[in-house]
Amino acid sequence: MVSEIHNSPGDGELDSSLEEESSMIDLASDTFLMGQAMRQAQKAYLDGEVPVGAIIVQNGSIIARSHNQVETLKDATAHAEMLALTQAQEAMGDWRLGDCDLYVTKEPCPMCAGAIIHCRIRRVIFGCGDSKGGAAGGFINLLQQPTLNHHSEVTPGVLEEESKYLLKSFFLEARIKKKAGQND
């Protein structure tokens, strides 16, 4: 009797409470949402685009998903963030995205950071940093520029290794293809 009471109910309670907790954390967490942006980056990879993906979240709902489409659209401004911002503005019927958060697998460039500030995005969460071209603190920080009238909160390094690995694989493959092409 004693061992029954001690073991079974106790274990059951522990298991179910852990399950509940982990599913709650998963759906709202930066890691889960960056995972959704990573899926977009993988789509870009498969399309032969530099693999960067972005999503925009409002009140826990994803209102925009996009990936880099510079080659597909033959448009140098078709970065994942720019396309996601346009989608989100359409979804909201407004250019003001002040209660929206943007998840992107790579640190935004100056063009995208400028657009992010214009749309008043609340928070920017990114994967790997870009010390040469990043405008969220990499080489400049346009998202928190004191002279501008809007600042976004910045969370760097979410799924950093995964996004870096995808980008490295893409550029390695591109170099190999280029070399193979030169030998023909």
The reply to whether 106 sits near Zn ion by the rule CB under 5 A is no
The reply to whether 43 sits near Zn ion by the rule CB under 5 A is no
Residue 132 beta carbon to Zn ion: minimum distance, rounded to whole angstroms: 13
Output the CA angle 23-56-25, nearest 5 degrees. Answer: 15
Q: Is 81 assigned a catalytic role? A: yes
Of residues 62 through 81, those in contact with Zn ion by CB under 5 A are 79
Using a 10 angstrom Cβ sphere, with 0-12 exposed, 13-18 middle and 19 or more buried, the burial of residue 53 is buried
- Identify the residue among 112, 117, 128, 167 touching Zn ion (CB under 5 A): 112
Residue 112 beta carbon to Zn ion: minimum distance, rounded to whole angstroms: 3
The three-class DSSP label of residue 61 is strand
Q: Residues 4, 49, 81, 173: which is the catalytic one?
A: 81
Q: Which long-range contacts (CB under 8 A, 24 or more apart) does 145-149 make?
A: 145/117, 148/117
The reply to whether 109 sits near Zn ion by the rule CB under 5 A is yes
Residue 168 beta carbon to Zn ion: minimum distance, rounded to whole angstroms: 19
Q: Which is nearer to Zn ion, 32 or 156 (CB)?
A: 156
DSSP string, 100-132: EEEEEEEPPPHHHHHHHHHTT-SEEEEEE--TT
Write out the residues near Zn ion by the rule CB under 5 A: 79, 109, 112
